[in-house]
Chains A and B, each alone.
Chain A
């Protein structure tokens, strides 16, 4: 069975500061990994995905994530937070037949 653990249900940063959202996964097969963002009362928007190509994945809105097999991690980063980044972020893992989501991390950006 596969699973995802997101460390920290709530992260608060100042505008312009580094954003780091943590995700660790468990999978018995080489995983596909995803980060999604959700704004209030909306569906999920894909930020980026890892599908066994480059370990450093660049996504939309300046986000990127690095797949580290030895650490079973796929942390999401952004060098400089913007007010519009405030949202809920979900990490997900897939074995091509099933997708499981983490509990989510709410990102707050302070002016």
Chain B
């Protein structure tokens, strides 16, 4: 099956610094990538949708200047949490789709802790 690799799996950073999370589709070209945030014991909340070569579409309430998404190629999307604060601590998950949402392939997630 299609594999999506997300890196790093865990990261601890100091408040005020920026953190970049990578999401790669290893064996397929993803036309669309999605970024989710998951709070403890809660469901996935869609943050943004990105298509290769175009600006990401952010969900209402998500700060686009805070969560920078770049979809540079058909196999790579990055999420940068800028000027991170403790309230940004969460589990971030990416997924990739080939054509529309007939199936989405998920990365293993990144546990971000801001201290």
Query: Contact residues of A with B, CB < 8 Å?
Result: 32, 34, 36, 41-46, 49, 51, 90, 94-104, 106
Contact = CB atoms under 8 A, between A and B. Distances in A.
A32 B44 CA distance: 18
B75 interface: no
B107 A43 contact: yes
Interface of A is mostly: strand
13 contacts: A32-B102, A41-B91, A43-B107, A43-B108, A44-B44, A45-B106, A46-B105, A49-B103, A94-B100, A95-B101, A96-B102, A97-B100, A98-B101
Contact of A96 (B42, B46, B101, B108): B101
Interface residues of B, number: 22
Contact of B104 (A99, A102, A104, A106): A99
- SS class, residues of chain B in contact with chain A: strand
A51 B91 contact: no
B102 to A, nearest CB: 6
User: Most chain-A Cβ atoms within 10 A of its Cβ — which of B43, B103, B108, B111?
Assistant: B43
- Which residue, of A51, A99, A106, has the highest number of chain B Cβ atoms within 10 A? A99
A97 B102 CA distance: 9
Contacts of A45: 106
Contacts of B102: 32, 51, 94, 96
Contact of A43 (B6, B41, B42, B100): B6
Given A43-B108, A44-B93, A94-B104, 8 more contacts: A32-B103, A43-B107, A46-B105, A94-B100, A97-B100, A99-B34, A101-B43, A101-B44
Q: When A and B form their complex, which 6 residue pairs have the shortest distance between CB atoms, in order from nearest?
A: A94-B101, A96-B100, A43-B106, A44-B106, A43-B108, A43-B109
Contacts of B101: 32, 94-99
Contacts of A96: 100-102
